[in-house]
Amino acid sequence: MTLIAAILISTFSLTKAQESDTSKYQYILNPNSSDKECINDIKRAKTDIESGQLKVTETFGFTPNALRFEDELKKLSRELGLEFEIELISDVIIEGQTQGCYSAYMDYALSEKYGLNFKRDLYRKADSLFIENIINNNRLVSNDFCDQSAEPSNDIQINPSIKVKNFRIVEDSANQFGNGFPFIDLGFIIEKNGEIGSFKIDYWLPASQANRRYKNQLLNLAIDEMKEKYSTWKPGRIVGIRARTEHSVRFFFQNEK
């Protein structure tokens, strides 16, 4: 895995939360007395640390799966007797109040115990393990994490509209989400050889309550559409390596006129 590690070191971009910059701790050690949000978060971090809950943390907004190597990071953290936690940051900014101080104080505590570059090196190791698992353990990866996303092998754009022939769905013009039409987010897995399978519903909107009874029929229509028109894919790649990926495509349903 020496080559892979070298690739990752040259390509993996560290976030500000991972940079070895001592200046980022200055405010945490002496926050403004009026910054109650930050002060309370620091107190909470100190309480957790005193109870033996030293954590590897990351701050994110309301975006799922923000770290591609999160599973590997959790595993490595557990092996070190540490917990992993994501601190959610609101998009509502209050003047004079600082978010993310819980995570920042945990970073400070980690640097004091393990050294300034501990978190950076841990993240790099987790990303190396992530790549190793793709190669050796057929690890499943979200298509969103690929450097080169998976796409249909025929290079055509997916037509998101499917005509319903054998029954009549109800269109609800009052439902603006989806323009009044029911839709299904069809989830599936793209294997390293480009084959697709393991179909499931990631999300669906009936538009009208009357369409709920057609859920399975609409799912089957979406699966048939995928198998007939988009049966093989170019697999996703991470640092040039083929990956087994999970993906989702949204299909809208309309009555055939």
* Conformation bin of residue 14: beta by default, left when phi > 0, alpha when psi is -120 to 50: beta
Q: What is d(CA 67, CA 143) in angstroms, rounded to the nearest whole number?
A: 13
Looking at residues 24-36, what average pLDDT do you find? 91
Residue 160, pLDDT above cutoff 60: yes
Which contiguous run of DSSP H or E holds residue 240?
none
Q: What is the pLDDT of residues 192-216, one digit of tens each?
A: 999 999 999 999 999 999 999 999 9
Residue 165, pLDDT above cutoff 80: yes
pTM across the whole model: 0.80
Listing DSSP states for 27-80 in one string gives HHHS--TT-HHHHHHHHHHHHHHHTT--EEEEEE-S-SS--TTHHHHHHHHHHT
Q: Where are the beta strands (DSSP E) in 5-95?
A: 55-60, 83-88
The residue extents of the domains of the chain are 2-136, 140-255
Q: What is d(CA 82, CA 56) in angstroms, rounded to the nearest whole number?
A: 7
Which contiguous run of DSSP H or E holds residue 69?
none
> What tokens does 121 get?
């090196």
Stronger pLDDT, 18 or 245, i.e. the higher one: 245
Looking at residues 126-149, what average pLDDT do you find? 96
Looking at residues 35-54, what average pLDDT do you find? 96
